[in-house]
Structure 1
């Protein structure tokens, strides 16, 4: 308790809050059931028979046989019959209720991810306020553990959704697209990693130099002389592999986002304000991407002095804080528009019926109803594809801010980077307060040696290391999110023209 102090109290209180409130209050359920979403209901068999001109079959004489009893014979609930594809039926709508969504696939995973993200955000805000008045010295920032768990859950769910394409024999096209996307993003990442940092502000060069020097020093102190744990090319190769995998995980969520964005613009055609907000939410990730390109962002805003001015538009610490705040704006705008995107997805059931009327031939009543009901059955999967990438990007950014030494108050005052490696010298040795007359010299020396080892290991992961690697991960996540969404928009434009 003495080591963690108030942070442990915040964590324990939030764990208690999760146990008490999560069964009764859920942000995930509120999004689906309290924002006015409505789904389309498929017509009954009797209505399809009437509209399709199919005579109702009479049960065989002699009463109900065993086939009619289980609903598989003529006249039973499982009877199949053919109707024209051009059948005209009116689809009824129903509000999305809690009793409807709790049985959907991936609902439990969706609810856990969104609710845990909200609780983690509360822990992070309380911790940041506390650290603003009582800065950390040698304490562990427990809010980073919460953020890391959210990132892990988001990656796990995105991976499980992607693995579905490799388990089904009918998803050959989707499987091929995931593999191709992984290879393409791997190639793009290799190109990005060799770009000069005077163009792309990744911070990886400083991060690798700091990590290699600190790790070499730590290994030497442990009696293992070394020039460094890994060469730069090996580190960048594994970074490129991770970038390729993340790009493959973002492929179908990005394409789904593009489809929902395209449909949302169509349904909001008469509302200019809503169209502006939808387009703004789509473009904001691109603005974040270019804010890491130094010649058109940092140099233009913090270095160049325009005519008639005596100093640049922004100071460096103001620019860094505004870049972090823009991330919060992107996530807030996307989640605020989330009900509109989800309703555009649910409207696909009605669009499918309209497209089916343009086709010739006949279709069974079971297939007709499945085309309508399958849209709602995959609502939680689509919601995860929309929310998980945003949550991943948000909490990567929060870790980048806290571990990279930035400040939310950078707009008003210059940020003070907390150098983790400088605080170790200000801590009193463990054995200083222990009387040497006790004779426990071996225990004191062991404790001092253990403390020195942990301090040296902590110095390996310095602020520069976190700033470089988390900054690059944040930029890459937004780049892949915008790239896949843009590819989806191009596809939708071509598909609609053809």
Structure 2
């Protein structure tokens, strides 16, 4: 109960920090405005007229059309300029006054800042629980992690729904549908792979959930052999995998384009190119770490010649897998300014491509080709950050609810959390109720309150027994692995697309 009280205090403190600190400092705004990003400014009408040799229109004076003329003068004039007009775009640093008007800026700022605060809550909770382990209490940091995952999914869904609301996005809409069906098929194939090949843990999770749920329903007077069959559970898992694959499709393709452009941007910096390639390949390494024959069996079971034990203990292998996830996310966020600058440079590339084309274009279309890149900066940033945030916080939930440890690489944690002075089968709330029973307070209302609290505690304990560590380990482990798989698969498809069209 003391641990739960400490968690509540931490939650209240973080809520207060969010309310007081966010108006003065925003990590999301700092990423865009304080990391050296610069944007390209579209040429003015006067500059286009001068470069293209288009004479300035003289206003016609007409007595009867005075009001109509005033309205026309206020509207933007339209004229044609050659596509190959020679114009050098000017640049300007990205400032806070520029980004506040961008599309999806509020959603982007909320997601990144809330993720930062939720991560802080998680780190503080992990340190606190390391010295004072949980004994039946709810880990409130998991609520924060769940909220972050929910908000990230919500934003990715809203970005994907945009393709279904306009008639101009027929290609994007079709790609989302095809991606969902393809990932649904791939997920069905993956779900029938034996556990000896792919370490999903779903078989143990289903067995534990089915047995615990059946026992819970029996205790509630509802005899049951299990809540759902295995085929139904796997079908809904595959359906969720297809939806996640559709949501990750365009973020993955965007990531591939930014990675391709970032390599060109850093062509003079060999070390930066190596870091960019490492950040791109790390999700693939995470994917193969769940393939048992080439990861767990190779590192924790096989004994090499000249050695008397495997390279790693199982606890160390789990810790390395968790730490590699954190490293992947931190590395990509550290390289985020380079990726975003490579996106902003698309405005310059568009103008360079126009110079190779014949014909003419209106001044408004010419300016829109430049200004639209910066206008969608926050949308692109969300596509970059939201999948990484989902992968990270799913892994954090997988670690905490699956019973893993951050220190398995350094020493054995098998004795961590033991409390020999107290009965480990009793929760803190139950021990407090026993103390109240022996305190001698015999008033009826206190006994009624105590009895109600005990009944509530027993019901909560019974319900919580349905979702065991094996259940969380299996379902969250598979969700974590699938998020890495879809992220790398869509990015790899984008790289193949970029390389093919670059060669042709």
For residues 471 and 8 of structure 1, what CA distance do their matches in structure 2 show? 28
Cα displacement (A) at 1:287 = 0.2
For residues 394 and 447 of structure 1, what CA distance do their matches in structure 2 show? 36
Cα displacement (A) at 1:3 = 7.0
- Whether 2:79 is the aligned partner of 1:41: answer no
Aligned to 2:237: 239
- Whether 2:383 is the aligned partner of 1:380: answer no
Aligned to 2:315: 317
Cα displacement (A) at 1:497 = 1.6
> Please, which of 420, 428, 433 is the counterpart of residue 431 of structure 2?
428
For residues 265 and 449 of structure 2, what CA distance do their matches in structure 1 show? 72
> How do 1:56-75 residues align onto structure 2 when only pairs under 5 Å count?
56-61=56-61, 65-70=66-71, 72-73=72-73
User: Kindly tell me: are residues 429 and 135 of structure 1, through their superposed partners in 2, closer, same or farther at Cα, counting changes over 3 Å?
Assistant: closer
> How do 1:110-125 residues align onto structure 2 when only pairs under 5 Å count?
110-125=108-123
Equivalent pairs, count: 493
User: Kindly tell me: are residues 224 and 429 of structure 1, through their superposed partners in 2, closer, same or farther at Cα, counting changes over 3 Å?
Assistant: farther
Cα displacement (A) at 1:267 = 1.4
Aligned to 1:11: 11
Aligned-partner SS, 1:212: helix
Aligned-partner SS, 1:410: coil
Identify unmatched segments of 5+ residues in structure 1. none
- Whether 2:479 is the aligned partner of 1:473: answer yes
- Whether 2:492 is the aligned partner of 1:486: answer yes
For residues 130 and 66 of structure 1, what CA distance do their matches in structure 2 show? 72
Aligned to 1:179: 177
Q: Which string of whole-angstrom CA distances, capped at 9 and with x for unpartnered residues, describes residues 187-235 of structure 1?
A: 0000111100100001111111111111111000010010111111111
Cα displacement (A) at 1:425 = 3.8
For residues 96 and 433 of structure 1, what CA distance do their matches in structure 2 show? 62
Kept in 1, the 8 Å contact 2:132–2:417? The answer is no
Kept in 1, the 8 Å contact 2:403–2:469? The answer is yes
> Please, which of 352, 355, 375 is the counterpart of residue 354 of structure 1?
352
Aligned to 1:26: 26
Aligned to 1:195: 193
- Whether 2:494 is the aligned partner of 1:496: answer no
Kept in 2, the 8 Å contact 1:406–1:415? The answer is no
- Whether 2:463 is the aligned partner of 1:457: answer yes
User: Kindly tell me: are residues 248 and 418 of structure 1, through their superposed partners in 2, closer, same or farther at Cα, counting changes over 3 Å?
Assistant: farther
For residues 309 and 473 of structure 1, what CA distance do their matches in structure 2 show? 36
Kept in 2, the 8 Å contact 1:418–1:463? The answer is no
> Please, which of 211, 215, 237 is the counterpart of residue 209 of structure 2?
211
Q: Which string of whole-angstrom CA distances, capped at 9 and with x for unpartnered residues, describes residues 423-455 of structure 1?
A: 544543846733595557766555443322211
Aligned-partner SS, 2:234: helix
Aligned-partner SS, 1:305: coil
User: Kindly tell me: are residues 436 and 7 of structure 1, through their superposed partners in 2, closer, same or farther at Cα, counting changes over 3 Å?
Assistant: closer
Aligned to 2:402: 404
Cα displacement (A) at 1:68 = 4.0
Cα displacement (A) at 1:86 = 0.8
For residues 270 and 430 of structure 1, what CA distance do their matches in structure 2 show? 68
For residues 460 and 87 of structure 2, what CA distance do their matches in structure 1 show? 71
- Whether 2:303 is the aligned partner of 1:302: answer no
Identify unmatched segments of 5+ residues in structure 2. none
Aligned-partner SS, 1:112: helix
> Please, which of 252, 257, 260 is the counterpart of residue 259 of structure 1?
257
Aligned-partner SS, 1:428: helix
For residues 451 and 208 of structure 1, what CA distance do their matches in structure 2 show? 26
Aligned-partner SS, 1:191: helix
For residues 310 and 201 of structure 1, what CA distance do their matches in structure 2 show? 26
For residues 94 and 21 of structure 2, what CA distance do their matches in structure 1 show? 22
User: Kindly tell me: are residues 450 and 13 of structure 1, through their superposed partners in 2, closer, same or farther at Cα, counting changes over 3 Å?
Assistant: closer
For residues 444 and 331 of structure 2, what CA distance do their matches in structure 1 show? 64
Moved more, 340-349 or 430-439: 430-439
Aligned to 2:54: 54
CA-atom RMSD, angstroms? 1.9
For residues 428 and 208 of structure 1, what CA distance do their matches in structure 2 show? 32
User: Kindly tell me: are residues 330 and 356 of structure 1, through their superposed partners in 2, closer, same or farther at Cα, counting changes over 3 Å?
Assistant: same
Q: Which string of whole-angstrom CA distances, capped at 9 and with x for unpartnered residues, describes residues 33-78 of structure 1?
A: 00000000011111111111111111113589334423x35xx651
